[in-house]
Amino acid sequence: MLNSQKISNSEKMNGKQEAWIIDTGASNHMTGTLNLLHNLQDIVPWIVGLPNRNNAVATKEGSLVLDGGICLENVLYVSGLACNLFSMSQFIDHPNSIVSFARNMCVLQTTL
C-alpha cells in the first residue's frame, strides 16, 4: 500500500510524511528523503523535471519496500524534493506488475 494511513490535505505536499503520490507522468520513482533508501549508490548526476516545471538533480539511487511488501528499485534521490513520487510507468515496466484503479483506491500487485 502506498499510503496506509489517512493524512490531511495540508500534510500531503509538505514533505513531512512518507506518503507517495502516484505520478503517471514521472519516468522514475523519486524521493527527497534519503533515509527511506537501502542499497544506496551514487549515480552520475541526472537532471529531472519536476511537476512545477523546475529542474532538480538526482545524485543517488536505491531501493525501498513499501507497506504491503512491494519493492521499488532504482528509486532516485533528489535533494530538496518535498514529496515522494511513485512512477506508474516505471512500475508497469516490470513484467509481473498489475495495477487496478477504482473510484476510491488503486491496487498495486507484483507476482513472482
- Cβ–Cβ < 8 Å for 13, 84: no
Distance between CA atoms of residues 63 and 15, nearest Å: 19
Distance between CA atoms of residues 64 and 110, nearest Å: 15
**CA-wise closest residue to 29 among 81, 99, 100:** 81
What pLDDT, on a 0 to 100 scale, did the predictor assign at position 6?
47
Query: How much is the pTM?
Result: 0.79
Distance between CA atoms of residues 84 and 111, nearest Å: 24
What pLDDT, on a 0 to 100 scale, did the predictor assign at position 112?
60
What's the whole-number mean pLDDT along residues 44-50? Answer: 90
What stretch of H or E contains 11? helix 9-12
Q: Where are the domains of the chain?
A: 9-110
Fold topology of 9-110: Cathepsin D, subunit A; domain 1 (2.40.70)
pLDDT band at 80 (very low <50, low <70, confident <90, very high): confident
Residue 85 CB-half CA count within 13 A: 24
What's the whole-number mean pLDDT along residues 25-29? Answer: 90
